[in-house]
Amino acid sequence: MPVLVRPENMARITTPELARAYIEEQIADVRAQVGGNKVLLALSGGVDSSVVAALLIKAIGSQLTCVHVNHGLLRKGEPEQVIEVFRNQMNANLVYVDAVDRFLDKLAGVSDPETKRKIIGNEFIEVFAEEARKLSDVKFLAQGTIWPDILESEKGIKAHHNAGGLPEDLKFELVEPVRILFKDEVRMVGKELGLPDNMVYRQPFPGPGLGVRVPGAITRDRLEAVRESDAILREEFAKNGLEGKVWQYFTIVPDFKSTGIRDGKRTFEWAVVIRAVNTRDAMTATVEPIPFELMQHLTDRITHEVAGVNRVLYDYTPKPSATIEWE
Q: Which residues sit at the interface with ligand XMP, rule CB under 6 A?
A: 204, 206-208, 248, 282, 319, 323-325
Q: DSSP H helical segments within the chain, as ranges?
A: 16-34, 47-60, 78-82, 100-107, 113-134, 147-154, 183-192, 197-200, 220-239, 292-305
* Residues whose CB falls within 8 Å of the CB of residue 20, separated by 6 or more in sequence, listed in order: 192
DSSP at 62: G
Amino acid at 116: K
Closer to ligand XMP by CB, 206 or 260: give it.
Answer: 206
Of the pair 77, 207, the CB lying nearest ligand XMP is at 207
Nearer to ligand XMP, 207 or 260 (CB): 207
Dihedral sign of CA atoms 24, 25, 30, 33 in order: positive
- Shortest Å, Cβ 150 to ligand XMP: 15
Nearest distance from C-beta of residue 21 to ligand XMP, angstroms: 29
Q: CB 212 → ligand XMP: shortest distance, Å?
A: 6
Distance CA 22, CA 19 (A): 5
Give the type of residue at 18: L
CB of 78 to ligand XMP, least distance (A): 15
d(CA 92, CA 63) in angstroms, rounded, equals 9
Closer by beta carbon to ligand XMP, 30 or else 324: 324
* Min dist. Cβ of residue 244 to ligand XMP (A): 16
Q: Which is nearer to ligand XMP, 15 or 323 (CB)?
A: 323
How many angstroms separate the CA atoms of 19 and 260, rounded? Answer: 54
